[in-house]
A and B are shown apart, each in its own frame.
Chain A
Amino acid sequence: MKFESKAIHSGFSQDPKHGATAVPVFQTASYAFSTAQELADVFEGHKFGHVYSRISNPTVSAFESRITELENGLGSVAVASGMAAIATAIYALTASGDEIISSTNLFGGTFHFFEDMARFGVSTRYVDIHSPLKIKQAITDKTKLIFFETIGNPKLDVPNMKAIVEIANEANIPVVVDSTLTSPYLFQAKKWGVHVVVHSATKYIGIGGTTIGGIIVDLGTFKWRNARSEAVRESAQKAGHFGFISQIRQRILTNTGNILAPFNAFLFSLGLETLSLRLDKQCQNALELAQFLGSHSKVSKVTYPGLENNPYHELAKAQFEGQFGALLTFECPTKEACFHCIDHLKMIKNMTSLGDSKTMVIHPDSTIYRTCSPEQKEAAGVNDRLIRVSVGLEHFSDIINDFNQALSA
């Protein structure tokens, strides 16, 4: 089946008892078994079953299976937010004394999380992800993973997957990629040899910015039995290829209780059904808007990989199935001009988040990145003249007209 069909038919087909075709919401904390032996077998792992919704739940499993199918992966674990997905992947792979290699430009929340991990003895080496040499030089015997985003937020740079995966494979280090801005629809991670993908489902996977959630996907491309991370290696002795996924479920979900809620999983399964349609339209709107802003006299710069003069245009086209995502940034001559434009938008919302049906803007410098140092801001591509736009599903003429009147006001 093609992506669009899998997005509708995988993970759940129909309820055997009533024939319901929408995934039922199993709003239950726990599960009863008819015999003591049965529950003992499930605890032992000899039988499949759900025992407690902090660890697994049928509605959440349906969403996980649908994502696994869409990613052509080995298995997934759905968690309470995109940050929970990132944190969980890091907890799974690192212990005190270990090192992460990360791109310098990251979503602000991820950056703050990496900084916080230093308190637990896990340090991060930030590198220019476009320099294979710098990545190689940053690898030590303590390195446990390489982390970056498919499209850096908000710099909108595009790392070369093949080049990074090659370095990682040589050093036996898993590559963990945040594919929030591309979703499984635009970026087929397995095709590029990536080992683990995380998504903030809050964004394109969910519908209309209603729900917080995230997911971690093991693409089945890493031999966990030989992993540098001790916990995963031990887990792979017991669980084989499920070494990574099983220790996330049985160690981290069980211990931290960060699983996704069943109703949110239901909404995400529904969201996946229209993901391709929504993203096609959002990417197209983004391109129209980028072209319009590029020709506007009050705009000094537009960054969007879909523009042919963008340095990442060809790479993005190859890696993201011919599309470029729905996030763009533009610069006004001054911070005051940015605020003036934002304050005069009528339809478009001034808010944090992205990937919603609504078009939204934010001034990253005074919000998400306000506590970062000037060097950190520069590395992330943030300055006080920058506005980030998450392009929504409205008619493109309404989006353009709103920007036009706000910039001219």
Chain B
Amino acid sequence: MNVSINGQKEVLTQSTLTISELLKLKNVEMPEMVSVEHNGTILERDAFGTTHIQDGDDIEFLYFMGGGAH
């Protein structure tokens, strides 16, 4: 499926994938510190395992702990 991750278009070979699985697949650094925006909405942490990614989805990984000044 085609998705956008942090503004970059990507093709995922998986047909079904949760946010938790995507964090692993993408080897996201410090996963305990990341917030995930899914189609414009920030997900609750306990929804990572149950939120399925669909074709055309827009996903942003956001760090608020590390040090980026927003």
User: CB within 8 Å of B: which residues of A?
Assistant: 41-52, 55-56, 74-75, 220, 236-242, 245-246, 249-250, 254
Measured in the bound complex, the distance between the Cα atoms of B55 and A394 in whole Å is 66
Count of B residues near A, CB < 8 Å? Answer: 22
Measured in the bound complex, the distance between the Cα atoms of B66 and A254 in whole Å is 12
Measured in the bound complex, the distance between the Cα atoms of B67 and A47 in whole Å is 10
> Which residues of chain B are near A41, meaning CB under 8 Å?
6
> Which residues of chain A are near B69, meaning CB under 8 Å?
43, 51-52, 55, 250, 254
Partner of B67, one of A52, A75, A240: A52
Least Cβ–Cβ distance between A45 and chain B, in angstroms? 4
Partner of B65, one of A51, A52, A220, A242: A242
Instruction: Say whether B30 faces chain A, with CB atoms less than 8 Å apart.
Output: yes
Measured in the bound complex, the distance between the Cα atoms of B67 and A52 in whole Å is 7
Partner of A240, one of B30, B43, B65, B68: B43
> Which residues of chain A are near B67, meaning CB under 8 Å?
42, 49-52, 55-56, 249
> Which residues of chain A are near B66, meaning CB under 8 Å?
42, 48-50, 56
Given contacts A75-B65, A250-B70, contact A48 B29 (CB under 8 A): yes
Partner of B70, one of A45, A47, A237: A45
Partner of A45, one of B29, B44, B45, B68: B68
Least Cβ–Cβ distance between A60 and chain B, in angstroms? 10
Q: Is the CB of A46 within 8 A of B64?
A: no
Of listed B29, B42, B64, B67, residue having the most chain A CB within 10 A: B67
Q: Is the CB of A48 within 8 A of B64?
A: no
Query: What are the interface flags for B42-70 relative to A under an 8 Å C-beta threshold, 1 for contact and 0 otherwise?
Result: 11110000000000000011111111111
Q: In terms of DSSP, what is the predominant structure of the interface of chain A? A: helix
Given contacts A48-B29, A48-B30, contact A246 B43 (CB under 8 A): no
Q: Is the CB of A239 within 8 A of B68?
A: no
> Which residues of chain B are near A44, meaning CB under 8 Å?
68
Measured in the bound complex, the distance between the Cα atoms of B70 and A309 in whole Å is 54
Number of A-B pairs, beta carbon distance below 8 Å: 81
> Which residues of chain B are near A238, meaning CB under 8 Å?
42, 62, 64, 70
The 9 residue pairs across chains A and B that have the minimum distance between CB atoms? A246-B64, A240-B42, A56-B67, A239-B64, A48-B29, A45-B62, A50-B67, A45-B68, A55-B67
Can you add 10 more A-B contacts, CB < 8 Å, to A52-B69, A55-B67, A240-B44? A42-B67, A46-B60, A46-B63, A50-B66, A239-B64, A240-B36, A240-B42, A242-B65, A245-B64, A250-B69
Query: What are the interface flags for B24-40 relative to A under an 8 Å C-beta threshold, 1 for contact and 0 otherwise?
Result: 00000110011110000
> Which residues of chain A are near B35, meaning CB under 8 Å?
239-242
Partner of A49, one of B34, B62, B68: B68
Least Cβ–Cβ distance between A99 and chain B, in angstroms? 28
Q: Is the CB of A51 within 8 A of B68?
A: yes
> Which residues of chain B are near A250, meaning CB under 8 Å?
64, 69-70
Nearest residue (CB) in B for A237 is B42
Given contacts A45-B70, A48-B30, contact A241 B45 (CB under 8 A): yes
